[in-house]
Structure 1
Amino acid sequence: MGAAEDAIREELIGAVLGELSLLRRDVKQLSELLEASGKQFKDDGELTLLRFTARYEQFLREFSGSTADVLAKATSFDEARDQLLGEISLRHYDEANGRSRELLRDVLREERPRAGRVGRTELVIWSVCTAIGTAMLVIGAVTVLHHFGI
């Protein structure tokens, strides 16, 4: 049985060596696939980075353009606001000026009739003062004439 055991042993060794050979071939294929996948991954990563960079630059260009548009619109809005405030101020000034002129006219209209008309109390006072003034002039004139002997 010694020869049969050696044959079985050799056959088992041959089978193990065959399996090792297949395993070595599979490992070699697997390492080639891993290497190809790593290279593909690296290439895909670089491509993704390039795409990201391109989109980032595009975003910056669009953002810069929209910012410039917003600033231009803000400037025109400021100009329109200033013009509107000026118009409103002029209207308020004109209205206030018109109102003050109208009030002045009303006051002058009220004063005109009052200035031309003398009230009863004023008329009595003027009459009394005139009578006293006339009496004083007459007494003064009589005294002067009497003094000069006329």
Structure 2
Amino acid sequence: MLPDGRVYLVEPTLGRVQLLRPLSYTRPIATIVAASPRVVTAGQAVSLLGRGADSNSQAAVSYAWYLGDSAQPFAVSADATLATSGLAPGDYTISLRVRDGQNEVSELRTVTISVAQVVTTDPQSWTFLLYLAG
């Protein structure tokens, strides 16, 4: 193998030299396997489970979770799970990107989580009706 990565196969008996292409690695594939629940109330926890698959059998090294259009992940871990709470009411796109042992990264995979406002009623409220006779 030459320093530039090229590999030659020399066959002196046949009088030929072949240039072999070096192996090329493909990007890993990220999958969000589960997101539960997808509709929550503010403060309720959401659990996400991701997976990473790679055609060259390199295990996923890290899982990066992104919120919305952010270029920076809000969580990076060697673990494929994410649990979060404390999201304000609204709709959120949560994305996953996987990195493998060759430092190759997957395309983003996304899921939408809806967070509803907490509606509370005061169980101590009373209604009084006053009837005046007369």
Q: Shorter-chain TM-score: which interval? A: under 0.3
Computing the radius of gyration from Cα coordinates, the structure with the larger value is 1
Q: Would you tell me which structure has more strand in proportion to its own residues? A: 2
TM-score of the pair, normalised by structure 1: 0.24
TM-score of the pair, normalised by structure 2: 0.26
Q: Would you tell me which structure has more helix in proportion to its own residues? A: 1
